[in-house]
Amino acid sequence: MNIELIGITVLWIFLYGYLIVASIDFGAGFFSYYSMLTGRKHLVHGIIERYLSPVWEVTNVFLIFFMVGMVGFFPDTAYYLGTTLLIPGSIAIILLAIRGSYYAFSTYGSKDNKFYMLLYGASGLLIPASLSIVLTISEGGYIEEKGNQVTLLYSKLFTSPYAWSVVILSLVSVLFISAAFLTYYADKAKDYKAMEVLRGFALGWSIPTILSSLLVFFSIQRHNPWHFEQMLDLSWMFVLSFLCFMVATYLIWHRKRLGLAFLTVMLQFALAFFGYGASHLPYILYPMISIHESITSPSMGIALIIAFIAGLMLLIPSLYLLMRLFLFNANYVQGKHGK
């Protein structure tokens, strides 16, 4: 494998990692707020807070990692995406900032402040939508280059069925992933009341997830036939993804092996996400940037990969420790430890 392929693969893995942990996080914020509105806060809030408190900071890092790696390996993306995404990017940053800080304010500072919870819950739903614009743009057709000036064609973006289908998919899958995880987590905590509420959320969001995935399929065919052809070559991945979805919903429906159910949800999204990514290659931004316009200096590429490996050697044991202490610690999960 050459350096650029390793680079994009590693980055894609990190983006997938962000997709999963951020979805759990964003969805949890929304469920937390929603259950407060519907008077069920006492049922699910404890579970959500126990999971989120030690990990919220880690979630953010995945995104930064992806960004830095992207510019490091593929500097041209900084130029094209940086210039065109000023407004959506800034809005995403502001939402992330509001969400992150008001999460901390409402968890550690002013408990039960409804306004803080609203900011934190609502911003979580808008972030996936604003971040998904990057994926939309990467399909090409939304950027115009004239001389030294690249601009995003907003009117084209806002009237594009493809763009909207991606937004819908990102929204519902966030809620689905999150609910599937929290169902499992509540079950582990032996908090069956919370589990029932969250199971309802998971099942409720399962059908919209699959419908919106189909919608994306159809609209990509119309928007970028080249990419659709490529996706057909990898259709086995999408079929497997659908099977995983079926297994997951079956298990959640029957309240059986919820850990396995969440794993199949992860697998479902992994297959779809990597299938989508692989079929998009070699383009990063169709048709302007391909992975071959990557770092011009092999020594930097090697240094980056070494740093990656060294970093992972440090991170994997630490993440394992974090999970042992919090996610997979029966006492902690059941709330038997004080702060």
Residues 92-151 that bind another protein (CB under 8 A): 92-94, 96-105, 108-110, 148-151
User: Per-residue x/- mask for another protein, residues 25 to 64, rule CB under 8 A?
Assistant: ----------------------------xxx-xx-xx-xx
SS3 percent helix, strand, coil of the chain, rounded to 5, is: 80, 5, 15
Q: Is 316 in the site for another protein (CB under 8 A)?
A: no
Q: Is 9 in the site for another protein (CB under 8 A)?
A: no
Q: Cα–Cα distance between 43 and 41 in angstroms, integer?
A: 5
Between the CA of residue 292 and those of 3, 5, 295, what are the distances in Å?
A: 10, 9, 9
Q: Is 72 in the site for another protein (CB under 8 A)?
A: yes
Binding another protein (rule: CB under 8 A), the pick from 2, 38, 235, 318 is 318
Return the number of the residue (17 or 141) whose C-beta is nearest another protein.
17
Residue 52 near residue 178 (C-beta atoms within 8 A):
no
Return the number of the residue (232 or 321) whose C-beta is nearest another protein.
321
Return the number of the residue (244 or 304) whose C-beta is nearest another protein.
304
Tokens of 316: 């994997």
Q: How far is the CB of 251 from another protein (least distance, A)?
A: 30
Binding another protein (rule: CB under 8 A), the pick from 37, 68, 207, 239 is 68
Binding another protein (rule: CB under 8 A), the pick from 214, 309, 314, 330 is 314
Binding another protein (rule: CB under 8 A), the pick from 232, 239, 246, 307 is 307
Residue 200 near residue 180 (C-beta atoms within 8 A):
no
Q: Where are the beta strands (DSSP E) in the chain?
A: 143-146, 149-152, 283-285, 289-290
CA geometry: angle 236, 241, 244, nearest 5 deg: 130
